[in-house]
A and B are shown apart, each in its own frame.
Chain A
Amino acid sequence: MLCTIPLYVIHEAQEELGFIFETAKRETKVIANNIAINSVEHILTRDYSSLENLLLRIAEFPDIINIQVSNEFGQVLSDVITSKDGLYEVQPRYSLISIKVPKKNSYKLIEYDEHMDIWTPIEAGRHIGWVKIKYSLVSAKKHRNERIKDYLLDGAILSVFISLFLLLSMRRPLSMINKAVNFSSRLDDKTGEQLPVSHQSIEIEKLFKALNKTSLSLAAQEATIKKGIKDLETQKHALDEHSIVTITDTSGNIKYANDKLLKMTNYKSEELLGKNSSILRGSYHTEKFYQDVQKVISEGKSWHGEVVCEDKQKKRHWMQTTIVPFLDDKGSPYEYVTIQSDISAQKDTENLLEINNTSLELLTKELEDKVESRTSDLRKANEELSELNNIKSEFVSVVSHELRTPLTSIKSFAEILEDDFDELDSDTRNKYLSIINEESVRLGNLINDVLDLQKMDAGKTTWNIEKTDLKRLAVTTIELFSKSYADKGLTLNLEMSGEDLVADVDSDRIKQVLTNLLSNAYKFTEQGSVTLELKQVIQNPTVLIVDDDETCLVYLEIFLEGKGVKFISCDGAKKAIEILEDKNKHIDLLITDIVMPDMDGVELISYIRNINKKLPIVAISSSGDASVLKSLLDYNISSFLDKPFHPESISKTLNKVLGDTEYMSENKQMIQISVQDSGMGIPESELGHVFERFHQVDNSETREKGGSGLGLTICKDIIEHHKGKLWVKSVVGEGSRFIFNLPLHM
């Protein structure tokens, strides 16, 4: 038994050391936390002097050798070393000394032989630094070794007396131990209380001393904690006053919600506590957004950002949000503190600003577009102007050339007559004088034409539009040419069909066109005839073809299709009447066979004439039955078409009724006037150019005909001013045909 005593003592001493170590660790951790909390402000404000004062105060705790506060990179901000004589040495502030800091951002304890290092991170929403406390284990170890030595040396003697001593002295130590136990049980609420240490046995004394030390240390801790709690409460109050604060557990369940949150969300406290924070989420963000946030905070890092929350009325609030995870000793979060500010108003302003910006951008874009399009318009106008300018200068150049030609003759012969008047015989004199006269007229006409064209181009021509009987106009114009045509041995015909050909035109201008065309025809026709034809034509006609013979129908259909004329065909007179009476179908021309089984053509025509006196009708006659044809004449038939068909005869017949169909206008009713000559004709390559200024078909024959080269250009301008169309068809060696259409009304 006695042998076991030293072992027991050693065991006890070890246990005691363990106890002391644990106490020291706890104590140091609390101190370190305290420093971590209290140093935040100093670090953030860089008030290293206050930081130093804080460390000096703390350094008074026994067994603390060194306290270092560093930033998150390990650069030492303050460093207090306790020397053996109890003086504190302060290292240069914010020295360039760097210490190696733990990798993981959490509490850390490293034990060495003679001391232990305790690291505590300093947090202010983020990790801003480290507290490192170096705690000496020397006194604790020394204490244990002395114990073991004492007992080992005195063990033998003690063993002898132990039995007696036990008997005698056990009662008192036991009561002392009881006392100590009672004392320790009171430490919970009576920290700082001390046990009387004197007059006790060594072990009891040591026990008592240890207990006293614990009590003191607890007192110090409690003071620190109280202050810490008080500070925290102040901070919490400040935070609650300023921000919306929510605390959730790791699953997101709400553990705490401050008044500001309740006020904003219109929830009651009991409606939120214990509920998952997703109740406030709404639908603005995606699930991924929350997953990303969760990922950051679950790793122990703080999250900052803007979050949209929905209140009880589903109204959205923009929240400037910081979520700080609270970490346990292992560095794992055990709860999250969310600090928020409602920035909806700011956000609204931002949105408004953004909308304004967007509309401003749009306006700017619009403006830019406008400027660009305007610039492009101007550029185009400029190009057109420059092109016009080119045309104009080319025109001037051509005009000057054209003016010089008659002028050359005039000048030449005037000079010749002046110089050699007496030498010349009278015939030559007369010849030269008449050249001067002709060329003067030519020059005058040319000048007139140029001015005329110029005036028309500039829109300065005065137009005298009035109802004009074109038949009368044609007759009076023809009369002007009859003599010259007859002199040249040419026949001049006038063909007019239709009742009256009256249109709204400028009669002088139309007369100018007719004169020009007739004069051209005169110039370019050496023999044969010239025909001026006037007729009323139907534009864009719809033709109804009636024939019981399918081959004939198909033949006519193909022919009309080739001409671009619309048509409806049917195989009997009764069907034809149906179509003619259909108000949706407007028929402009009827081509009908005479001999048909159900109802013959004569009957059909007589029926139609009862309802429509004016519809142009072409009758197809095969037999040449004179009596039938004679009976038809009473019905004002436009023309007859002989069977079997010949393309040329169909063409001629239809042309008589429909006119030349190359150019069809919107107007249904047009007057078509044409001048057909039997002259040299115009080569195909020239046809497209005859209306160009100063263009004359390039051969010496045309040159001899004179003319300004502007006549047809002027004619075309005049007809187009009347909303009509002038064009030409020609076959070399056979003749040319100038045709123009005029609408009845402009």
Chain B
Amino acid sequence: MNSCSDKTVLICDDEPNIRESIRYAADKEGYQYKMVEDGLAAYETACADIPDLVVLDVGMPIMTGYEVCKKLRQHPEMEQTKILILTAFGQSEDKVKAFNVGATDFMTKPFSPRELRAKLNELLDE
């Protein structure tokens, strides 16, 4: 485990195994993390905690990742929050859509945990 950071990551994915693999990456890089299973929980938790990074799956129950991202961007305290969208839909129009709703970055599934860790550091280290 790397040195502890006070940066917080909110992990949102409805697939428990994928959630675990993201958690593993965040944990290994020493970030604080929280995990939720659906879009609504993601939004509510983000609004309460104001994390430094939100990792969002797209195809989630109740609210999709896009919807969550759009709503988070409207929150006054979350203009600077980094949002990483992770999706199994990997077409270029999906990326465009992600950036249109205010995502900071984009990764397609299946992803490499190494790459994800590098991405987490890139987004949180400035």
> A residues bordering B, Cβ < 8 Å?
397, 400-402, 404-405, 407-413, 415-416, 419-420, 435, 438-439, 698-700, 703-704
B110 A411 Cβ-Cβ under 8 A:
yes
B18 → chain A, closest Cβ, in Å?
A: 6
Assess whether B114 is in contact with A415, with CB atoms less than 8 Å apart: yes
Contact pick for B114, options A402, A419, A699, A700, CB 8 Å:
A419
B112 A411 Cβ-Cβ under 8 A: yes
Hey, which chain B residues are within 8 Å of A404, CB to CB? 88, 90, 108-110
Which residues on the A side are within 8 Å of B14 (C-beta)?
700, 703
Q: Is the pair B114, A703 in contact by a Cβ cutoff of 8 Å?
A: no
A415 near B109 with CB under 8 A, answer no
- CB-based contact B38/A700 at 8 Å: yes
User: Given contacts A416-B21, A700-B38, is CB(A408)–CB(B109) below 8 Å?
Assistant: yes
User: What residues of B have a CB within 8 angstroms of the CB of A438 in the complex?
Assistant: 17
Interface positions of B from 56 to 94, Cβ below 8 Å from A: 59, 61-62, 88-91
Q: What is the CB-to-nearest-CB distance from B14 to chain A, in angstroms, rounded to a whole number?
A: 4
Give Cα distance in the complex from A322 to B67, angstroms.
92
Minimum distance in angstroms from B119 CB to a CB of chain A: 14
Query: In the assembled complex, which residues on chain B have CB atoms less than 8 Å from the CB atom of A401?
Result: 59, 88-89
Q: Taking the complex as formed, is B15 at the interface, i.e. its CB lies under 8 A from any CB of chain A?
A: yes
B112 near A415: Cβ-Cβ < 8 Å: yes
* CB-contacts of B5-41 with A (<8 A): 14-18, 20-21, 24, 28, 37-38
Determine if A439 and B61 form an interchain contact, defined as CB atoms under 8 angstroms apart. Answer: no
Task: Please state if B24 and A439 are interface contacts (CB–CB under 8 Å).
Answer: no
Known: A405-B15, A439-B17, A703-B15. A412 touches B61 (CB 8 A): no
Q: Which residues of the other chain, B, contact A405 by a CB distance below 8 angstroms?
A: 15, 18, 88, 109
The prevalent SS among residues of B at the interface is loop
Choose one: A407, A408, A699, A704; the contact of B16 (CB below 8 Å). Answer: A704
Min Cβ gap A406→B in Å is: 8
* Min distance, Cβ B21 to any Cβ of chain A, angstroms: 4
Q: Would you give the shortest CB distance from A462 to chain B, in whole angstroms?
A: 33
In Å, the complex CA distance between A413 and B91 comes to: 24
Give the distance in Å from the alpha carbon of A435 to the alpha carbon of B14 in the complex.
15
Q: Which residues of A contact B89 (CB under 8 A)?
A: 397, 401
Instruction: From known contacts A405-B109, A407-B110, infer whether A412 and B88 are also in contact, taking CB-CB under 8 Å.
Output: no
- A409 to B113: give the CA distance in the assembly, Å: 10
Hey, which chain B residues are within 8 Å of A413, CB to CB? Answer: 17, 21
In the bound complex, residues from chain A placing their C-beta under 8 Å from that of B20 are 435
A-B contact count (CB 8 A): 70
Docked pose: A410 CA to B111 CA in angstroms = 10
Contact B15 A416 (CB under 8 A): no
Could you list some 12 contacts between A and B, CB below 8 A? A397-B91, A401-B59, A405-B109, A407-B110, A408-B21, A408-B88, A412-B17, A412-B110, A412-B111, A413-B17, A413-B21, A439-B17
Contacts of B16 in A (CB 8 A): 704
The distance from the CB of A707 to the nearest CB of chain B, in whole angstroms, is 13
B109 touches A699 (CB 8 A): no
- Residues of B contacting A420 in the complex (Cβ-Cβ under 8 angstroms): 28
Residues on A with C-beta less than 8 A from B18 are 405, 408-409, 412
Complex interface: chain B residues within 8 A of A698 (CB): 61-62
Are B113 and A419 in touch, CB under 8 angstroms? yes
**A442 to chain B: closest residue by CB:** B17
Question: What CA separation (Å) do A45 and B68 show in the bound complex?
Answer: 102
A407, A412, A700: the one contacting B113 at CB < 8 Å is: A412
Chain A's closest residue to B15 (CB) is A405
| Known contacts A408-B88, A415-B112: A700-B17 contact under CB 8 Å | no
Determine whether the beta carbon of A416 is less than 8 Å from that of B109.
Answer: no
Q: Which residue of A has the minimal Cβ distance to B59?
A: A401
Which chain A residues border B59 with CB–CB below 8 Å? Answer: 401
- When C-beta atoms are compared, the residue in chain B nearest to A402 turns out to be B88
Closest 3 CB pairs of A and B: A412-B21, A404-B88, A408-B110
Known A-B contacts A401-B88, A704-B16; A409 and B37 likewise in contact (beta carbons under 8 Å): no
- What CA separation (Å) do A435 and B15 show in the bound complex? 12
Query: Please, which residues of chain B bring their CB within 8 A of the CB of A400?
Result: 88
Chain B residues positioned under 8 Å from A699 (CB to CB): 38, 61-62
Are A703 and B111 also in contact (CB < 8 A) when A405-B88, A409-B15, A416-B24 are? no
Bound together, the chains give a CA A419 to CA B114 distance in angstroms of: 9
A439: chain B residues within 8 A (beta carbon): 17
Give B116 Cβ to nearest chain A Cβ, in Å.
8
CB contacts (< 8 Å) of B112 on chain A: these are: 411-412, 415
Bound: A703/B19 CA distance, A = 13
Across the two chains, which residue of chain B brings its CB closest to A411? B110
A709 CB to nearest chain B CB (Å): 11
Most B C-beta atoms less than 10 A away, residue of A400, A402, A703: A703
Contact residues in A for B108 (Cβ distance below 8 Å) = 404
- Residues from chain B with Cβ under 8 Å of A703 in the complex: 14-15, 37, 61
Question: How far is B28's CA from A306's CA once the two chains are assembled, in angstroms?
Answer: 109
- Check if A408 sits within 8 Å of B111, measured CB to CB: yes
In the complex, which residues of chain A have a beta carbon less than 8 angstroms from the beta carbon of B15?
Answer: 405, 408-409, 703
Cα(A435)–Cα(B109), bound, Å:
17
Q: A407 — which chain B residues lie within 8 A by C-beta?
A: 109-110
**Nearest opposing residue in chain A for B41, CB measure:** A700
B24 proximity list for chain A (CB < 8 A) = 412, 416
The 8 Å CB contact of A409, one of B17, B38, B62, B114, is: B17
- How far, in whole Å, are A412 and B11 apart by their CA atoms in the complex? 15
In the complex, chain B residues whose CB is within 8 Å of the CB of A409: 15, 17-18, 21
User: Would A416 and B113 count as touching, CB distance under 8 A?
Assistant: yes
Least distance between B45 CB and chain A CB atoms (Å): 14
Smallest distance from the beta carbon of A614 to chain B beta carbons, Å?
51
What B residues does A419 contact at CB under 8 A? 113-114
Residue of chain B at shortest CB distance from A419: B114
- Residues in A whose Cβ lies below 8 Å from that of B90: 404
B35 vs chain A, min Cβ distance (A):
11
Task: Contacts A400-B88, A408-B111 known; list 10 others, CB within 8 Å.
Answer: A397-B91, A404-B88, A404-B110, A405-B15, A408-B109, A415-B114, A416-B113, A435-B20, A438-B17, A703-B14
Instruction: Check A700–B109 contact: CB distance below 8 A.
Output: no
> How far apart sit A698 and B38, CA to CA, in the bound complex (Å)?
10
A411, B88: Cα distance in complex, Å: 13
CB B37 to nearest CB in A, in angstroms, measures 4
How far is it, in angstroms, between the C-alpha of A135 and the C-alpha of B25 when the chains are bound? 137
CB distance from B65 to the nearest CB of A (A): 13
- Whole-angstrom CA separation of A407 from B16 in the bound complex: 14
Bound together, the chains give a CA A412 to CA B113 distance in angstroms of: 6
Inter-chain CA distance A397–B59, complex, in Å, is 13
Bound Cα distance from A404 to B13, whole angstroms: 14
Measured in the bound complex, the distance between the Cα atoms of B66 and A705 in whole Å is: 24
Complex CA distance for A107 and B61, rounded to whole angstroms: 110
Query: If A405-B15, A412-B110, A415-B113 touch, does A700 touch B37 (CB 8 Å cutoff)?
Result: yes
Chain B residues contacting A408 (CB-CB under 8 Å) are 15, 18, 21, 88, 109-111
Most buried by B among A407, A412, A420, A438: A412
Cα distance A700–B38 in the bound complex, in angstroms: 7
Per the bound structure, the CA–CA distance linking A435 and B90 in Å amounts to 24
Whole-angstrom CA separation of A307 from B86 in the bound complex: 93
Query: Which residues from chain A contact B91 at a C-beta distance below 8 Å?
Result: 397
Cβ distance B74 to chain A, nearest Cβ, rounded Å: 24
* Distance in Å: Cβ of A48 to nearest Cβ of chain B: 92
Bound-state CA distance A415–B110 (Å) is 11
The distance in angstroms between the C-alpha atoms of A698 and B40, with both chains bound, is 12
C-alpha gap A430/B35 in the complex (Å): 22
Tell me the complex Cα distance, A682–B115, Å: 40
